[in-house]
Structure 1
Amino acid sequence: MTDSAIDYTAVFQTLPGMVALLTPELVYADVNDEFVRVSGRSREQLVGRYLFDVFPDNPHDPASTGMRNLEASLYRVLATGERDAMALQRYDVEDPERPGEWQERYWSPVNAPLLGPDGKVALILHRVEEVTELIRARGRGGRGGRSRVLEAELYTRARELQELNERLRQAHSREREVALALQEAMLPARRQVSPHHRAAVRYRPALGALNVCGDWYDLVDLVDGHRVGVSVGDVVGHGLEAAGVMGQLRSALSAASRVAEGPAQALDVLGRYAHVVDGAESATAVTTFIDFTRHTITYSSAGHLPPVLVHPDGRAEFLDGATDTPLDARPDPIPRPQAQTAFTPGATLVLYTDGLVERRGEDIDTGLARLADALDRNRDQDPETLADTVLLELLPPGGATDDTALIVVRL
């Protein structure tokens, strides 16, 4: 039988487990017959409706966290484009025939992405394993006592796992809040950013508790008065440790830039400093010196993604002529390369970190092309508006899995 002869609609409807298709807005696009039967809802009560309008949290029992955990899982799938298998969850489901009465159910969900031609999540396949009867202790003939013991043990382990997951979530949340506060204190405020030039800076933390606080940015007026140093960097790691390393590297590069002859020398100094900083291994950075008198940009990169110079006609020039290894990559550092390019007044320089352009399963050139296109189409916007537009167009709707730093400078 060929694929064209298979009725996949019929296959979907007769799947033995509960299966639903959800849109990226978490609206039911379709459900199979088993989902209708087990959920106790008709197709009309499901298809076209927001998932958590159909299955809300039980307002009378804060311990019932299944719906909240499911929501977090679905947003992880949207952000990462990867399958997410959940632990056994307790759900309180409102009786469709007795509003206000709630039934305790136990479901084991798996959420898998269906990608569209653009590589983004077009639908989520939401499969549910119904295990309520396994959890409930009901005697069945001579095996009733033994069954009750096994099921009670399974129930206890499931509740312990849920409580452990909640404690871990709270611990990660506290660390995230402290790390973000530390980073905010270390990064320069908007009012401190090159007050004599039109520039916008943005930082967006990653989705969830991990992968935050490793990215940084800096803009400094150099000592000769007509040049500005613009830099971004990325520290491997997350949380408080990454925030601490980030602060040390940013401060060191800021100081080095004020006395260095050029960006390559500034990165040479930073590389030597990174060699004695625990946690700075494989950190990357790129720095540019903008000369507003000569209309030139001199730049050097230590393993970082190239800045983008958007010319007034919309042409995007990636500054990749002086790319070298990450900081502390060599036991004996050698002088780093640097390059120079000219700009026309009215051009825009953009520096960023990988959270803006990198996506799992996608070539980096695709993300860079997406960035160049967004900058071309919106090049007439002022820096503040352009920064917001770029983040809106390039970051996933549910948030990225890596933090993102962005600098937009109008030349």
Structure 2
Amino acid sequence: MTDAAIDYAAVFQAMPGMVALLTPQLVFADTNEEFLRMAGRSREQVVGRYLFDVFPDNPNDPHADGMRNLAASLRRVLETGERDAMALQRYDVESAEQSGEWEERYWSPVNTAVLGPDGEAVLLVHRVEEVTELIRARGGSDGSRTRVLEADLYARAKELQEVNERLRQAHAREREVALALQQALLPAPTPVGHHRVAVRYQPAVDALNVCGDWYDLVDLPGEQLGVAVGDVVGHGLAAACVMGQLRSALSAASRVADGPAQALEVLGLYARSVAGAETTTAVSTLIDWASGSITYSSAGHPPPALVRADEVEFLDAATDPPLGARPEHVRRPQARTEFADGDTLVLYTDGLIERRGEDIDAGLARLAGSLADHRGAEPEALADAVLAELLAPGGTTDDTALVIVRL
């Protein structure tokens, strides 16, 4: 059977479990029949209405927290795009027959995002297992056993929630320490000689996904400037430490190496002795104003963009695997291109262009379009425009470094 022959609306309605579709504003877009049956609601009472207007917390229970827990889960899914399976929830429901009477219910929800072409959530799939009858059945005919089992399950669910909250707080503290360390290790975004340069670092919204990216600018003799960016695979405080070591090593190598390729070769050899540096990506460039040229080499990193008067060119003629990807040392490739006065060189990390479930070419095309639209802007304004257009308003799940140099 082909996709065209499948009536997916009918499939959705016939699904045996409770499933609802929510907008990012948490308004019911649709539900299947089982959801309505188990919730004791009609379609008119649900579709088009705000989730927590339909299912508020029991006002008679001062400890009710189902609404708060569900709202937090849905926010996480919207922010990260990741599936979130919740712990067992007690979430009482007002009787459809008798206003003011609340039925004790137990739910096991799973929330998933449906992503649009831009990688942002356009719908939320809210799937619920109604386990009230299962809990009661486990108690048999003995009502006390039922109450004990219910209380035990509910207590365990609360314990899991408390553990998750402690982990969240610990991750938040680690994020603060890692960001502080990274800010101390990265060079300050101050003018480099007389060159017009803009740098940006945008941390990830997820506490676990920060501090793997770096940038570096090295003023060299003879009207030359070394510019590099890199991305450590790991995250958090450990990644910030590795990032600091690799950035410093590449900065030192760039001052004495015979070009970017040799600098990356030295960095690759050094990375073998640094735990957590495996498969780090980096790109190193050397801008020479005297000859009007850019020499570059990449270790598995997205290609720099050269914004010319009539096109945006990606410098991808010297790309090699990430650091430490080969078991033996091999010379890295190097390429050279010329530039004209007024051109702009842009280096960045993958957080700027990559989106979950999307081919990287789409992200590169999006970047090229933004750079072309703002090619006449000064580096500071260009950096702000690119970040505003390519990053989601609420932030991304990967950190982003961006360096822009007016040539």
Which residue number corresponds to residue 125 of structure 2? Answer: 125
Alpha-carbon distance between aligned partners in 1 of 2:59 and 2:271, rounded to the nearest angstrom: 52
Alpha-carbon distance between aligned partners in 2 of 1:293 and 1:267, rounded to the nearest angstrom: 23
Which residue number corresponds to residue 302 of structure 1? Answer: 299
Alpha-carbon distance between aligned partners in 2 of 1:41 and 1:200, rounded to the nearest angstrom: 56
Distance change >3 Å, CA 168–CA 372, structure 1 → 2? same
1:372 corresponds to which of 365, 368, 375: 368
Shift of residue 390 of structure 1? 2.1
CA contact (8 A) 1:75 1:398 kept: no
Question: What are the within-5 Å matches in structure 2 for residues 210-229 of structure 1?
Answer: 210-224=208-222, 226-229=223-226
DSSP-derived class of the 2:141 partner: helix
Which residue number corresponds to residue 317 of structure 2? Answer: 321
2:265 corresponds to which of 259, 263, 268: 268
CA contact (8 A) 1:268 1:335 kept: yes
- Please tell me whether residue 281 in structure 1 is matched to residue 304 in structure 2: no
Unpaired segments ≥5 residues, structure 1? none
Question: What are the within-5 Å matches in structure 2 for residues 67-78 of structure 1?
Answer: 67-78=67-78
Task: Give the counterpart letter for 2:218 in structure 1.
Answer: V
CA contact (8 A) 2:119 2:356 kept: no
- Please tell me whether residue 292 in structure 1 is matched to residue 303 in structure 2: no
Cα deviation per residue 1:226-253 (whole Å; 9 max; x = unaligned)? Answer: 1111110011211111100101111111
DSSP-derived class of the 2:124 partner: strand
Alpha-carbon distance between aligned partners in 1 of 2:138 and 2:82, rounded to the nearest angstrom: 40
Distance change >3 Å, CA 272–CA 154, structure 1 → 2? same
- Please tell me whether residue 238 in structure 1 is matched to residue 235 in structure 2: yes
Question: What are the within-5 Å matches in structure 2 for residues 10-21 of structure 1?
Answer: 18-21=18-21
Unpaired segments ≥5 residues, structure 2? none
Which residue number corresponds to residue 146 of structure 2? Answer: 147
Task: Give the counterpart letter for 1:270 in structure 2.
Answer: L
Distance change >3 Å, CA 141–CA 91, structure 1 → 2? closer
DSSP-derived class of the 1:142 partner: coil
Distance change >3 Å, CA 89–CA 193, structure 1 → 2? farther
Alpha-carbon distance between aligned partners in 1 of 2:345 and 2:109, rounded to the nearest angstrom: 46
Distance change >3 Å, CA 61–CA 184, structure 1 → 2? farther
Cα deviation per residue 1:311-337 (whole Å; 9 max; x = unaligned)? Answer: 122x12111111122223344423322
1:384 corresponds to which of 380, 387, 390: 380
DSSP-derived class of the 1:185 partner: helix
Q: Give me the CA root mean square deviation.
A: 3.7
CA contact (8 A) 2:106 2:130 kept: yes
**Identical pairs, percent:** 72
Task: Give the counterpart letter for 2:188 in structure 1.
Answer: A
Superposition TM-score, scaled by structure 2 size: 0.84
1:197 corresponds to which of 195, 198, 201: 195
Alpha-carbon distance between aligned partners in 2 of 1:62 and 1:328, rounded to the nearest angstrom: 57
Alpha-carbon distance between aligned partners in 2 of 1:118 and 1:357, rounded to the nearest angstrom: 10
Between 76-85 and 341-350, report the one with greater CA deviation.
76-85
Shift of residue 33 of structure 1? 6.2
Task: Give the counterpart letter for 2:205 in structure 1.
Answer: L
Question: What are the within-5 Å matches in structure 2 for residues 24-63 of structure 1?
Answer: 24-31=24-31, 47-48=47-48, 51=51
- Please tell me whether residue 159 in structure 1 is matched to residue 158 in structure 2: yes
Between 339-348 and 10-19, report the one with greater CA deviation.
10-19
DSSP-derived class of the 1:179 partner: helix
Between 112-121 and 324-333, report the one with greater CA deviation.
112-121
